[in-house]
Structure 1
Amino acid sequence: MRKLSDQFMEDLNNPEGKLHPILTRVKKDHTLMLAIRENFINIYYRGGNILNIRENNKGFYQTSFDENYNQSVLLMPDSPTQINHQDDSKNWVDSFPFRKNMMDEYFSTYGKAEREFQQLIARENNNSTISNESEYFVADIEVTESDARFDMIAIRWLASHRQSGSNCKAALIEVKYGDGALGGKAGLLKHLQDMEKLISNKERYSDLLQTMESQFNQLDELGLLKFNKGTSKTKVKLNPGEKPEVIFILANHNPRSTKLKTMLGNPDIKKYAQSQLFDLKFFVASFAGYGMHAKCMLPLNEFLELL
């Protein structure tokens, strides 16, 4: 399960903790995103991993940075490979501007627009000036399961239902950036087939929901979710018996192209609009921006009317 140990959480949250300077920096820098994994975290910048921190059972944390980002062979910051105390974390924080520069140069040649867009969506809905108004909170990005992979997994928590953590629903989200990403081996139909396979496997789907609950609750404990729960102190709880939403976010569709309309008219895709396993939805922005609300999620027939 993608979850952090109590000690990991303590070292992040406690002002005296070994990892606290890194959490503090993430909170102050909206270009960074902390993602929870199984006993490790990834710090993302523009959708790329700027720092991996893995818990070691010997009382320290192992760190790593993908040096493939340094295609320009810039001088690499001398950051510690282990975090034993706060000074090690501060050293990594001090190196972020240099590593960002490396990654900027890398992305200028090897762009990852879809991943960058995912991080923007997560930021807007989790921790921004409008996140309290959002009704979808992103628990994770770049999620890989045995039967499927998702760009994002989120929890739908309607603004009118915040009095109880059990009034939530899972949302499995796929982002497509540009019309060129709609087809092929990772196209819309393939994702629908994979999601159907995963959700129909009750054991694996239940495990995924438990992971989503844990990730959301730990992100909340770390202060990385900005929203008003009212007087409720209840932890989020997802019901495996409730149909999730499968949502497509189709970024920067070319309105002059007929490709999307033709593809969504395919009977192999249209049948999923009647799925007994999930509710198929398509995100339409509220004028502009990334904030996700229930009213922004259209069923296939309503979405087709816009094309």
Structure 2
Amino acid sequence: MSNQTPISEVTLVGFPGTPEYFDSSISTIMFLVYIISLVANGSVVLLVVFSVHLHQPMYLIIANLSASDLLFDTVTLPKIIAKYWFGAARMPFRACLFQMFCVHCFGTVDSYLLLLMAVDRYVAICHPLRYAAIVNIRMILLACGLCWVVLAPSTIIVITARISQIVLCDRDKINTLFCTHTAISALSCTDVSSLRAVAFTSALVVLLACLALIIISYILIIREISRHSSRSENWAKAFYTCTTHLLVISLYYVPRIFVYIVTNTPLLKIQNEINVLLLCLYSFVPHLASPIIYFLRTKEITETLRKVLRKKVRSFPPLNY
């Protein structure tokens, strides 16, 4: 029988099977990823918060999405960097549980915010005359607060409380980049299949329900746009905005759905190393790409950034030779 002595610490493995001489390279890449995410997402949040003309429903949702991505990266990346840079792979089990809660909570917040973004675009395009009456700053702030405080935590807190009570064996290795429900439940000495099923079903319901509603809203948007002349500048702008949002939504959902299908289909089992790489890609790449997409394809945010940079350049004193 396995040793059922309670463990107080766990060890992050990171990328399984990676030779030690790659540690410095991996930590450097992860450090650059975190710095880029910090600058890009932080810039979006600060621009929206401190630029009064960006206090509009769509930009408030974008700022919340960037804040969620930034918090996700802050909870996960510094520990990965410390593991490879300084060999600090150990972490208290309670800290692992907290990281797991944050990881799944922020991922759930992203799903709800993307749905809210789709609803905002649906009302703006399909019911433009009623947009100001239906969608306003107060309503968006309330909806975003509901996602942060009620919807996302209530989905995760019960699962976190249940997994905190499992009996752990002498296994203490988290075979991935950060603590997740699947990685922690793999350390259990007892049968946790029912707990895994509940967690998987809950995640899948949130993911697919939000995605289904997003797809329906954009089908209605595309149908509405197709009814009008393509020469109309306003409708061309609306279509341009929607393609930006669809690109961001694809970055978030397509890799996640692929991983869910692969990891839960017996005939499509993949090696743990590839699974961890996919986890890294679908967790961090969207956080880097989405703010860059907003800067490149959202005129108001781009113009605001340019004005801020011009003011900063003009504020520097001239060089006297």
Regarding TM over 0.5, the answer is no
Higher helix residue share: 2
TM-score normalised by the shorter chain: which range applies? under 0.3
Structure with the larger strand share = 1
Normalization by structure 2: what TM-score?
Answer: 0.22
| TM-score (ref. length: structure 1) | 0.23
